[in-house]
Structure 1
Amino acid sequence: MKRIGVLTSGGDAPGMNAAVRAVVRKAIYHEIEVMGIYNGYQGLIDGKIVQLDLGSVGDIIQRGGTKLYSARCPEFLTEEGQQKAIAQMKKHGIEGLVVIGGDGSYRGAMALTSKGLPSIGVPGTIDNDIPGTDYTIGFDTALNTVIEAIDKIRDTATSHERTFIIEVMGRDAGDLALWAGLAGGAETIVIPEVQFNLEDILLRLRSGHERGKKHSIIIVSEGVMSANEFSKILKEHIDIEIRVSVLGHIQRGGTPTARDRVLASLFGARAVEMLMEGRGGLAIGMRNHQVVEYSMTEAFQGKRKADLSMYKLSKELSI
């Protein structure tokens, strides 16, 4: 293999740039040319393809977001769109592709592989919701961003003796809320994987108030409902002062942590090795602190399971 391509797709995640850097430098080390595809699959269809050299990825390992940009591309879901993408890859001499993104991005990579253009999936999403890997690129950074916000909000909650409901991202996965809630000492965590018990939450709030506790932190994953909706439900049953904080897209940005930089470097380099071996249709992950590879179909057909022992522990520690 003499020339490969790399693109980022889906929501941006801190560490994507580190993964791009690893792909480019690992490939060049092995005398393979790398074509950077801008704006994801849409850029692949439109031919926004530029050759990357060592300098192209200099000073990006510490930057959040993605140098290659990202965009949604409904056209790529069609046979016509995929044929346009394949034509662009052939035009630019791209023999293999590294796709950095989530399960939706993997579907596109699998489609290209099935049409004879081997593609490798690298997990990049703050949601940590891709089956087959314990961690995704960006999760650790987003988690630390959320924890920092919780710590600051708790200062205000304490000062004004209020209950704060903090809404975090995660789509249909509760990992970000669960990990942040446990690390941030939240009194209540609401995640999609567990049906919340309203009476139990109300009992916790009331018992805390009776023993002199004047403030509480409730973490709600966006996959359950919005923090504003949850606030309305609580206010119908309990007379306490509640404030809502929606963290939004600050969770996606920022300088990637050391963990995310290392994870991205390991994943990006391994993706190049797999293409050099002539393999495609595979995803890379981390299991038990070891880099692993598995079929991409496992990633978009399965479902990531939250660690419910952490959820149980959070309830025990927040009495």
Structure 2
Amino acid sequence: MKKKLVSGLVSALLLVTFFTGSSSAKDADITNFDIVQAKKELVVKAQEAEKFKKQHNLITNQSKENVDHLLAKMVAEQEDATTIKQTMENNGLYKLDVPEKQFGTTSTDNSNVSLTTPDVYYDARNSEWIAVGGGYWRTDKWVEYIPKFWGTDGIGSTRGVGGLDGFGVAYTNLNGKYSSSVKSSYGYMSDGQGNEVTTTVRSDGDGSKGFGFQLRDAIRKKCTCIVYTSTPDNFSYIGKHFSGLTRYDQSFGSVSGNATTYYLHTYSSASISSIQFGISGKVAGLQYTITDSQYSWPAFSSDKKF
């Protein structure tokens, strides 16, 4: 038994050394960084890592949707980047590391929310690429949007906040011919307390210049109180955490550009009418129309190479 345990630990250590042994992308010069070549190298390393794991019985099998849910949840809930990376590698997903210096769109986070710059992963078990971005509310300002609840409304009752909220990833400055196809998508929203809304239906974009989701954010009652105060003790916000991802076929590896996470929050009578990607002169190439836009606001992450 001891021999088996030692063998397993050695195998795991060898795998970590094997996959992280190359020079880190964060040390590279962003202006000379060949993103397409980096993708090609990632595919080779990922396939070799999976072959090694298979030979040493280190493979854990989960459905693609379960893996997508796990990735979306971890991104939305701002798990530590190293933890996300290691967890995804355990499930056959390998992160594309790019130089840390950001450029292009300056982060325009609303003071209430924080957005992650998008990440790209290669799924070695399904030969697919994944782009993912998300964010979360870093303040409790959402309590200002709590609608009226009746005293008879029990624990778990929900009320919507304005129209649907929109979020996703937009692409700009694309290089190379886009010939990829979208394989699947996954949108996620939660209150960080176990109450989630998910979808596999993409709301916006065909994937070539970005993708997006529109989901209903809602306030959830946590107390049995008839008379209440609008505080996080009595309510939670399903919409406090959000993220979206899309899977592409292997051709996505030959395309490069800038990726930006976006978020459109609506409340009161505001609602999203339309969203378009790849529009020149717009932040992150995103053009959107919102009815009663005075009851809404946008947020964007910094750009990131992909």
TM-score range (shorter-chain normalised) is under 0.3
With normalisation by structure 1, the TM-score equals: 0.25
With normalisation by structure 2, the TM-score equals: 0.25
